[in-house]
Structure 1
Amino acid sequence: MILSIDNSTKKCSITLFKNDCYYTISIIHKKIKNSKILILIKNILYYKKKNIKNLKYIIFSKGPGSFIGIRISFSIIKTFYLIYKIPYIGISKIKSLLEKVWRTKKKKKIIFLISATYKKFYFIQYVKKKKWMKKEKKTYDNEKIHKVCKYIKKKWYILNYINNNIFCTRCKNKKKYIYPDTKDLVSIFLLNKF
């Protein structure tokens, strides 16, 4: 039995993985700092009539994202480790989002645009072979990034990561955010067999 936690965005999500089944609870808050994570863990374990001592691993999103949200998650996970000796592992939110886009859209070429400063973006290309491979990482200013994205938009799926919000540049409604999924954290963990 594996517990997966993501508290790095406005969507706090918990997944319990047991016998090839995913059980997920999530809530979306206006503020990223979320102290309801313990209630979600309690609820999912209670709903499945399981005890925390039955957990084999705890997986969590280690960012990038809300420092406070990640810190709250890690503090809870570290406490479970100290009391119950449950091993834990952190997985990058970017890997989780890559896996989600692959699972939902079947896209093998994805670009992340991550806001570096007010006028600059990190431009990171990922290609899926057996695993996700980082192809290229560059830094562009606002003007150059628009030109580059316009040119490659048809071949690549582009995700923008600005102020802890992730959205697809193809979406007409820029407020339709894409949140990482805790079941993708479990999939990455199982595929990599840490």
Structure 2
Amino acid sequence: MSAKILAIDTSTEMCSVALMMGNTVYTRSAIAPRDHTKKILPMVDEVLKEAGVSLQELDALAYGRGPGSFTGVRIGIGIAQGLALGADLPMIGISTLAAMAQNAYRHTGSTHVAAAIDARMSEVYWAQYQRQDDGNWQVVGQECVVAPSALTQSLANDGITWTQVGTGWAAYSDDFDQLNITCESSTILYPEAQDMVFLAKFALEQGHTVAVEESSPVYLRDTVTWKKLPGRA
């Protein structure tokens, strides 16, 4: 399948866009923690022009669904929804944690990745990922928001060396130094759209897309808050 997919992400300090055209990926990215709204649409225009296509010619639009900065995730999904609605494209939400696992594989060949994004309030967004034979990623356990100190009590050494990705490792290094699993460091701090577009290809091939009105963020920390209260419509 020769996929044509645009991916955007503003969920962390990194602002990035990627366009997959078959086996070619066009990318733009920048560390811009306060300028996402200024940079993301010009980046989209640049990759579309470089590839010589319009939004209407694409198969799907992928976006970083979180977890990450509440504001950043909302900005990304809002812009993605606007673009997808105007071009009548299905949408694909991609985990920022899974995207960092793919980033680690792209840079180092790592097949076992432990992702931790600093979630503030002495917590991290956490997940462990294992690469599958087809190149996709399987989460080990589940994505969660957790205090690093709790991970030191719950994780057992499995004999696997896990590659560290994300901002959480440095933010809570004292706690993470106590982890009972074998880890190796990396320089990967943020998710990037060029890894999201790779993961989106698997989702598209399996028919895992949603309509614009059904696309939604994943905050993890806000799971309870978003539930309807008893007696409310």
Q: Name the structure 2 match of 1:145.
A: 152
Q: Residues 71, 160 of structure 1: CA spacing in aligned structure 2 closer, same or farther, 3 A cutoff? A: closer
Map Cα deviations across residues 95-139 of structure 1 (whole Å, 9 max, x no partner). 111111122212222223455674555764333333433334695
Letter in 2 for 1:18: M
Question: SS of the counterpart of 2:79?
Answer: helix
From 125, 149, 165, the equivalent of 1:159 is 165
Question: SS of the counterpart of 1:156?
Answer: strand
Q: Name the structure 1 match of 2:197.
A: 186
Give the whole-Å Cα distance in 1 for the aligned partners of 2:200 and 2:162.
26
The answer to whether the aligner puts 1:80 opposite 2:80 as a matched pair is no
Map Cα deviations across residues 137-157 of structure 1 (whole Å, 9 max, x no partner). 6956539739x79x7898222
Give the whole-Å Cα distance in 1 for the aligned partners of 2:120 and 2:11.
20
Map of 1:39-188 to 2, 5 A cutoff? 39-113=42-116, 118-119=121-122, 124-130=127-133, 131-136=136-141, 142=149, 145=152, 155-162=161-168, 170=185, 177-188=188-199
TM-score, normalised via structure 2 length: 0.65
Q: Give 1:24 deviation, angstroms.
A: 0.6
Give the whole-Å Cα distance in 2 for the aligned partners of 1:123 and 1:29.
23
TM-score, normalised via structure 1 length: 0.75
Q: Give ranges in structure 2 of 5+ residues lacking alignment.
A: 174-182, 209-233
Aligned length: 187
Q: Residues 43, 132 of structure 1: CA spacing in aligned structure 2 closer, same or farther, 3 A cutoff? A: closer
Give the whole-Å Cα distance in 1 for the aligned partners of 2:194 and 2:20.
8
Q: Give ranges in structure 1 of 5+ residues lacking alignment.
A: none
Q: Residues 18, 115 of structure 1: CA spacing in aligned structure 2 closer, same or farther, 3 A cutoff? A: closer
From 13, 16, 24, the equivalent of 1:13 is 16
Question: SS of the counterpart of 2:196?
Answer: helix
2:5 touches 2:61 (CA, 8 Å); kept in 1? yes
The answer to whether the aligner puts 1:26 opposite 2:29 as a matched pair is yes
Give the whole-Å Cα distance in 1 for the aligned partners of 2:34 and 2:27.
21
Question: SS of the counterpart of 2:110?
Answer: coil
Give the whole-Å Cα distance in 2 for the aligned partners of 1:75 and 1:115.
23
Q: Give 1:77 deviation, angstroms.
A: 2.0
Give the whole-Å Cα distance in 2 for the aligned partners of 1:9 and 1:120.
15
Map Cα deviations across residues 64-102 of structure 1 (whole Å, 9 max, x no partner). 112222222222222223322111111101111111112
Which moves more between the two structures, 67-76 or 31-40?
Answer: 31-40
Give the whole-Å Cα distance in 1 for the aligned partners of 2:23 and 2:87.
24
1:125 touches 1:135 (CA, 8 Å); kept in 2? yes
